[in-house]
Amino acid sequence: MKGHEEDEPDFCIQDLLGEGSFAKVYKCIERKTQAPFALKEFDTKNEEYDEGTVQTEIKIWKDLQHERIVRLYASFRTGKYLYFVMDFLAGGNLLEDMLGRQKYSEKEAASLLRQILEALQYLHSRKIVHRDVKPDNILLSGKLTGAKRPVIAKIGDFGFAVKLPRDRDVICCQPKGAPMYLAPETILEDPIGCPVDSWSCGVLLHTLIVGYPPFWNEDNEKMLLAAVRGQFSLTSPCWNGVSQLCKNLIKNLLTVNSSQRITPMNALKHPWIFKMALASPVPPRKENKFLSQQSLTTGLKSTLLKMHSSLNMQSLGVSRLKGRFFPLHHSAQNLTALSGSL
């Protein structure tokens, strides 16, 4: 199964793995080889389907070959449907795993983050910005809880990915992504580059360690304001027992000034990553009061699911944010000086 837009391979569809507004993902078996694959089915007649976006995704994704990236083997059409043939990973996505537990040990979080950073280092070396690093788009080879062997993590879904110009490190593009993971420069509609993926890793690491994201607020505008200002705390009781090295890496990933934000290459060299790789397995810390009251409730879980969805940025009050700050500040790099209560 080489190439793209080729003749339809012969599959036996087994299970529905997930579905969105215009696409479904199935587990399937190729009859000839009996090999398992994931098959993504796009309804090209759905009003939310965008042919240009999907073709850009194919163009970027089809040549990527890295052990930490979900492989796109082929694409083909049957009637009104377009199909992607991809790696099948039996553990599902990381968001499903996160919703089934409170939080992760530092060793578990470091193992996941290291693999994601390796994928991003590869992408960035090819001038590709993923723009949608979030748990939904991280697939696992197995369940993390009780795993007897190392769990492999791979990044997939390149629907928002962009290729940077050969002679530039930034590009102007329409803001897209899950609001919880958006970097300040994306929120303010500044030109963006590879650092937006590092920011998303910082949000992810924070959430894995304590069970909630750094800028959490049910009010979208307040959440985006907190992110633009870089307002988060690592001193609340839920951080008791978390190493200073871990906190340091989170701070470096969540640096508002994108030019000073740590890169995946340098994050892989961070002492916390090295220390955790050598550490003995340790169970996650005991649940704290904050998490028992909030993070494990059905209401917050449903809200987290919603906030992991990619939404129209105009519906999140971006224009109001720009209107409030742009008369005095013209880039995310100047916003660290802002003060005020949310």
Annotated binding site for ATP: 40
Query: Mapping DSSP to helix (H, G, I), strand (E, B) and coil, where does residue 12 land?
Result: strand
Half-sphere exposure of 87 (CA within 13 A, CB side): 26
Tokens of 200: 């998303």
Q: Which of the residues 97, 132, 157, 197 is marked catalytic?
A: 132
197 is catalytic: no
Pick out the residues of the known binding site: 40
How far CA 289 is from CA of 108, 210, 238, 239, 282, in Å, comes to: 22, 12, 8, 12, 21
- What residues form DSSP beta bridges with 116? none
Residue 29 — left, alpha, or beta (φ > 0 → left; ψ -120 to 50 → alpha)? Answer: beta
Q: How far is CA 88 from the centre of its chain?
A: 18
Tokens of 47: 């009003």
Q: What one-character DSSP code corresponds to residue 138?
A: E
Helices (H), 89-153: 94-99, 106-125
Longest dimension (CA), the chain: 63
Query: Mapping DSSP to helix (H, G, I), strand (E, B) and coil, where does residue 304 land?
Result: helix
- For the annotated catalytic residues, the residue numbers are 132
